[in-house]
Structure 1
Amino acid sequence: MSTEPLGWPERREPAARGNGVLAGSDFRQAVEMLPLVSIDLLLRDAAGRYLTGLRTNPPAQGAWFVPGGRIRKNETLRDALRRIACDELGLRVPEKAWKPRGVYEHFYGTNFAGEAGRSTHYVVLAYEAEVPLDISSLPQAQHRSYRWQPAEAIAADPGVHPYTQAYFKE
């Protein structure tokens, strides 16, 4: 067992069947019944600015938000960080670059399909890393555009989602 932050445990269970992704109807039911555990990526450039993207999908659609994603069943934190950075941004970030920033909760009155009255509850593990990154070549699936901003600007910008602002108001 490692002594790094949050333990970085070795995988103890067999890998999930398939890729750990639920069918749409099963995922909808899980969102109705359970909190989801996710990771938000607080990426900082050498100038101390942080990356946000304009969300294309619910539940934070249309707001500037940090990249992130859900942890899958039987996926270690190490593996989830690696996958989420790759899936969301096409990045390979060294494991030692990530520093835990805290645990947060996000509550939405809608779900991933934008269905009002179908709430979503996330328990979010925020991780920070300094990453050199050209935002002009980032994937557009989750965010339609990206920008670097100082923490103070993110905290004060009304177009930034309040949950992202909370990371920078501490």
Structure 2
Amino acid sequence: MLEEVDFTTVVRLAPLVSIDLIVTDGNRRVLVGQRRNRPAQDTWFVPGGRIAKDESLDAAFTRIVRNELGVASVERSSSRLYGVFEHRYEDNFAGIAGFGTHYIVLAHAMSLNGAVPIGRFDQHSRYEWLHVDQLLARDDVHENTKAYFC
């Protein structure tokens, strides 16, 4: 784990690699959470997280599902690669002026039963299941999330 000063330098100088989770239920709804953290704080966004140095994609996927959704033991093989995306933000995790955040995102689609209890409220203040047309119509859903469905 990097110290904050070192991570700040990485965010300032290099792109981050992350996994976003395009989670659907049996009713063709998509899970979004209202973000507590920068960047994209207070917007609705699909769950996701950064891949750590020397962490395998499989280990990162399982950790991110556990940390973002509170669901244990879901393996990457149970998902499908949805696509590779690029996200740019004007701000950064620390709110320091002068540089933004650049992500290369490996989006993975997966299904969960809507009855499965989901949520890590240290990451998101609340969660909602939205149909794609609802998600696209809302002003408070982040554009990077909308881009998954356009």
> Counterparts of 2:142 and 2:27 in 1: how far apart (Å)?
23
Structure 1 pair 129–136 and aligned structure 2 pair: CA distance change class (3 A): closer
4+ runs deviating over 6 angstroms: none
Equivalent residue number for residue 40 of structure 1: 20
Q: Does residue 1:84 correspond to 2:68, yes or no?
A: no
Gaps of 5+ in 1: 1-20
The 5 A counterparts of 1:88-99 are 88-92=68-72, 93-99=74-80
Equivalent residue number for residue 81 of structure 2: 100
Q: TM-score, normalised by structure 2?
A: 0.94
How many corresponding residue pairs? 149
Is the 1:152–1:168 Cα contact (8 Å) retained in structure 2? no
Per-residue deviation, 1:111: 0.6
The 5 A counterparts of 1:13-162 are 21-92=1-72, 93-134=74-115, 138-162=119-143
3-state SS of the aligned residue for 2:144? helix
Per-residue deviation, 1:65: 0.3
Q: TM-score, normalised by structure 1?
A: 0.83
Q: Give aligned-pair identity as a percent.
A: 44
Q: Based on CA coordinates, which of the two structures has the bigger radius of gyration?
A: 1
Is the 1:156–1:165 Cα contact (8 Å) retained in structure 2? no
Equivalent residue number for residue 4 of structure 1: none
Gaps of 5+ in 2: none
Per-residue deviation, 1:165: 0.4
Q: Which residue identity is paired with 2:141?
A: V
Q: Does residue 1:166 correspond to 2:147, yes or no?
A: yes
